[in-house]
Amino acid sequence: MFQRICLVHYHEIGLKGHNRSSFEMRLLKNVEAMLDGYPVVTVRKISGRVCVFLKEETEYDLACEIADKLACVPGTARVSSGYKTERDIDEIGRAAVDAMHEAGRFESFKVAARRSHTDFEIDSMQMNQLVGSLLCEAFPEKKVQMKDPDLKVCVEVVQSSAYVYARSIPGVGGLPVGSSGRVMCLLSSGIDSPVATWRLARRGAICIGVHFSGRPQTSATSEYLVDDIAHVLEKTGCIARVYTVPFGDYQREIAGSVPPGLRVIMYRRLMFKVAQALAAREKAGALVTGESLGQVASQTLENIAATDSAVSMPVFRPLIGTDKQEIIAQAKELGTFEISSQDAPDCCTLFMPRSPETHAKLADVLEAEKPLPIDAWVAEIVENVEVRDYACPAYKPKKPQPANS
């Protein structure tokens, strides 16, 4: 019985030059944390990838479950399931047969062997031939095909052992969470913003959410849904913390003070200012929204510009050019779509005008905003936010500090 392993392959990390080791270590730490509770002996970096060594007698189904989980960790390009063996060609051949038995359906295959040290007497070409012959005997009905085979059986001989694997699944790619700084994500219970948050996490950012609830003017339903969404994201370490802002009373004040057509822009400008203040607390470098150009009234070019002018920090919109059906498809793949499809009264639908302005002029927006005590509201909101932390290996949670500390 050979020791089962999962090899985490990466692509973009391997192009990082002098910074490569820090990216590799961040991925290794994230993998370790994501596998807490699984039968893992150790996780080590070997030959340009991360190797997860599983405990003896780990069943095939559980090994597949572990591989599937690893494939969802940002920074992972591909995950291979296989075995660690001694540097003995007979053992390598037996492991290759076992790996092929567990690889699923296929009609054609080839062997891809390589050695990283010449102290192993059999070179790569000879290993291809020897292991290939054993596999042809074990699977006489399968065809050897050197170009575009259904299955590739890989053999890697390193300094102290050999690794043999055949089952390989694609990962989500990107960079490990924690390698690209922090961002503050405006997170609603809708379909778009969880996808936008995940996309930034996939680029290595630590994502901290801020949810604007319609409470006390509406129920807290959206808050529960956002918590459910955050629990989906935390399965792969893609969210660290969520700040909840009871926003309904401030919307009511705005609705009674500004022209109806400008209400939505005013709501969003205040949201952005609050998010910027929280970003300063968290040392986050940008805001993130789930906006897509032209999707709703607040997402026209003019209204986006009017909203952005409320803050001085960058605002990232990873979905800006994405079709709604593409966003839905990714939400389904991510596992948030069913949650986001539930009805929940939230601040986005509260005190909405019949005909919101779609081409706001910044001068009109600033004039309407003058009478509002925006700075006092921001300070008051930030002082009274509610905080919930989630499992993100790259984030060290700290207790919220007063805004004036």
Task: Tell me whether residue 268 is annotated as binding.
Answer: yes
Length of the chain: 405
What whole-number distance in Å separates Cα of residue 264 and Cα of residue 307?
10
Residue 220 three-state SS: coil
Phi first, then psi, for residue 53 (nearest 5°) are -95, 120
How far, in Å, CA of 263 to CA of 357, rounded? 9
> E strands within 86-127?
108-115
Structure tokens at 64: 């597949």
- Is 337 part of any known ligand binding site? no
Question: What is the layout of strands, in order, in the sheet containing 386-389?
Answer: 315-316, 287-288, 182-186, 206-213, 241-246, 386-389
Token code pair at residue 34? 């994501």
Closest C-alpha among 64, 158, 54 to residue 102:
64
Task: Tell me which residue of 90, 167, 159 sits closest to 131, measured CA to CA.
Answer: 90
Residue whose structure tokens are 């990216």: 23
Spatial separation of the C-alpha atoms in residues 15 and 77, rounded to whole Å: 13
- The first and second tokens of residue 205, run together, are 């950012």
Q: Is 287 annotated as a binding residue?
A: no
Does 9 count as an annotated binding residue? no
186 annotated as a binding-site residue: yes
Please name the residues in contact with 275: beta carbons below 8 A apart, sequence gap of 6 or more.
184, 186, 210, 287, 311
CA-derived radius of gyration, the chain: 26
Distance CA 323, CA 279 (A): 29
Cα separation, 157 vs 69, whole angstroms: 26
Residue numbers belonging to the annotated binding site for ATP: 186-187, 211-212, 268, 290, 299
Residue numbers belonging to the annotated binding site: 186-187, 211-212, 268, 290, 299
